[in-house]
Amino acid sequence: MPIISRGFKGRRRDDAPRDRVPPGQYVTDDFPVLSAGPTPHTPLDQWDFTIVGEVDERRRWTWDELRALPSETITVDISCVTKWTKLDTVWEGVSVDTLLDGVETSAEYLTVFCDGGYTTNLPLADVTGGQAWIAFAYDGEPLEPEHGGPARLLVPHLYFWKSAKWVRGLRLTATDELGFWESNGYHNYGDPWKEQRYWGD
Amino acid sequence: MEALRLDGNAAAGLLSEVFAGEVTTAVGTCDSCGAVEAVGAIHVYMAAGTVLRCPHCEAVVMKVVTDGERIWMDLRGLRTLELAS
Ligand SMILES: [Zn+2]
């Protein structure tokens, strides 16, 4: 099996099934760390998750309340816009469907907000129907801070900048509001299978 | 020390595609806290794009994204940038 060293970008796996690797991506066994800022270290007793914006009433969970909700083990492939794809990553998290259960809203979009100020925007339809989770464990271990712990959004069908690290909540909006990268060159939607990397793709 | 953080020299190549002259000695003013620093002293993070942050308050002073043909720069956090003419 040919394995080519690619430095910090990890190893290229040429035996990966092609129908699982989006165009322009290479497969890595590593888990590269990309951060737009310093790693926040919010103590769990000060951490909460909220759903705000265009909702009938604000929802809030403490860390213990979130962890008491039903959780799922999720095995998915993830693709970063910097061109690495990682197959069969295993996460544990709470489905966004569970958090939105009973929430009355006319919103069609949301902004994900995070410790450190990062934001990303998505259509509401892309985080419902078993497509998105608030993930707090990776590979059977609590999610490390450098990978977004204590919790990150997991939306594996879109480029991984949408899977915001250090997530603290969702703001439901009537109109689409561009996030941290979407406002400066990166594609508004980010479908890896359509190579929607940049504006105009 | 933040392990993932680099200094402004790490962004010098990217910025020299936009700004003429020696960019690491250019002096930027943070719009959030007013601190004045040489670009070489600014904190740099490599994510989907490159993020430059004020070394005093960590506010974003510049976001730079390139697709190889185009460069996008968000300068909202930079009050002014003084370059040698
Ligand atoms: Zn500042």
For the question of whether the overall pTM of this predicted structure is more than 0.95, the answer is no
Nearest-neighbour CA in chain B from A197: distance (Å) = 8
Q: What are the residue boundaries of the structural domains of chain B, listed by start?
A: 2-82
What residues in A contact B47, CB-CB < 8 Å?
Answer: 34-36, 161
In DSSP notation, A100-129 reads: HTT------EEEEEETTS-EEEEEGGGSSS
The mean-pLDDT minimum among A2-6, B40-44, B79-83 falls in: A2-6
**Quick one: pLDDT at residue A3?**
39
**Quick one: pLDDT at residue A11?**
52
Q: What is the mean pLDDT of residues B40-49?
A: 95
> What CATH number did the domain enclosing A99 receive?
3.90.420.10
Using a CB–CB cutoff of 8 Å, tell me whether B58 touches chain A. Answer: yes
**Quick one: pLDDT at residue B19?**
85
For residue A201, being part of any structural domain is answered with no
Distance in Å, CA A187 to ligand 1 centroid: 28
Rounded percentage of chain B residues whose pLDDT exceeds 70: 96
Domain tally, chain A: 1
SS3 content of chain A, % helix, strand, coil (to 5): 15, 35, 50
- Would you call A198 and B4 a contact, using CB atoms and an 8 Å cutoff? no
Distance in Å, CA B28 to ligand 1 centroid: 10
pLDDT tens digits for range B60-77:
999 999 999 999 999 999
What residues in A contact B2, CB-CB < 8 Å?
Answer: 38-39
Helix (H, G, I), strand (E, B) or coil at A144: coil
Q: For chain A, report the end-to-end CA distance as a whole number of angstroms.
A: 34
Residues of chain A with pLDDT below 70 are 1-14
Closest C-alpha among A183, A129, A192 to residue A160: A192
Structure-model confidence comparison of residues B3 and A40, the more confident one: A40
For residue A199, being part of any structural domain is answered with no
- Would you call A146 and B49 a contact, using CB atoms and an 8 Å cutoff? no
Q: Which residue segment(s) compose the domain that A91 sits in?
A: 4-194
The interface predicted TM-score of the complex, written ipTM, equals 0.93
**Quick one: pLDDT at residue B10?**
87
For residue A123, being part of any structural domain is answered with yes
Nearest-neighbour CA in chain B from A157: distance (Å) = 17
**Quick one: pLDDT at residue B1?**
46
Has residue B44 got a pLDDT over 90? yes
